[in-house]
Chains A and B, each alone.
Chain A
Amino acid sequence: MGVGTYLALASVLFGIGAAGFLTRRNMLIQLMSIELMLNSVNVVLLAFNRVNPGNHDGQVFAFFVIAVAAAEAAVGLAILIAYYRIKKTIDTDDASLLKY
């Protein structure tokens, strides 16, 4: 059970998030997929920090990733609500105002 297992698991979790972001058209679920991808990166940071525990650099970085992810979720959901007010749906296929 080495560090490689953690890295492989993190890449699988990142892939789940990426697949969700690419194949779904529900904006809420796409935002949740972004959270999945951000979380998988934290696993990599913590695993490498555990290999080299002389400093806390990886954990400090993961701390900032969590903080920025919280800000991103708040702003993303605010944009979703603004979009819902305009379109009355959260289907991203209908977000075509800039297309024409």
Chain B
Amino acid sequence: MTSAGTILFVTTAIFAMAGGLATISARRPLRAAIGLLVHIISLAGMFLTLNAQLLAALQLLVYAGAVVVLFVFVIMLIGPASEVRPIEGRFASRTLSLAVTIAIVLAVSTSLAYFDLPWGAASEDFGTVEGLGMAIYSEALVPFEVVSITLLVAIVGAVAVARSRTE
């Protein structure tokens, strides 16, 4: 990996972790949504260091363009109720869940950090629209069609569940 790639990786890693922490620690959901946006944009930058240009663009389009906007719309729709009161009590279960999560993450990440494999020599069209598009439409055509049906069902289901029943 080139030094420019290393710099991009370190920068995006720091911003991704900061965005994630801002998301889970923010008291106001709108600030959490902005943290999620920072996280997603930095992950899109990190995908560029892995030669995944099409997925970086899709990450920006689908997550930053659609999912975060959906979250912001829901926050706007719900209004002041989107902020819930802080939890009182139950320190034992909260501390236990946090401690177990941190322990597992420390164990996994420290044991993985020095795992190394040589990067393969990527061909010219690896990760580009042409390369990934050919792979999707030749090897994964049936899953691709199934995903389109899944999205259709999700749209209909979302409308059916969120519809007001007052009429």
Contacts and interface: CB of A to CB of B under 8 A. Distances in A.
Interface of A: 1-9, 11-20, 22-26, 28-29, 31-33, 35-36, 39, 42-43, 46-47, 49-57, 59-60, 62-64, 66-75, 77-82, 84-85, 88-91, 93
Contacts of B16: 9, 13
B92 interface: no
Contact of B158 (A19, A28, A42, A75): A75
Interface of B: 1, 5-6, 9, 13, 16-17, 20-21, 23-24, 26, 29, 32-33, 36, 39-40, 43, 46-47, 50-52, 54-55, 58-59, 62-63, 66-67, 70-71, 74-75, 77-78, 81-85, 87, 94, 97-98, 101-102, 104-105, 108-110, 112-123, 126-127, 131-132, 135-136, 139-140, 143, 147, 150-151, 153-155, 157-159, 161-162, 164
B24 A91 contact: no
Given A22-B98, A80-B74, A29 B120 contact: no
Contacts of A42: 43, 47, 55, 59
B55 to A, nearest CB: 6
A28 B47 contact: no
Contact of A70 (B67, B71, B120): B67
B50 A50 contact: yes
Given A29-B32, A81-B77, A89-B81, A2 B116 contact: yes
28 contacts: A4-B114, A4-B116, A6-B50, A7-B112, A9-B16, A14-B105, A17-B24, A23-B94, A26-B29, A32-B32, A35-B36, A39-B40, A42-B59, A46-B47, A50-B51, A56-B131, A56-B132, A56-B139, A60-B136, A63-B55, A63-B132, A68-B147, A71-B151, A78-B159, A82-B162, A84-B78, A85-B164, A93-B87
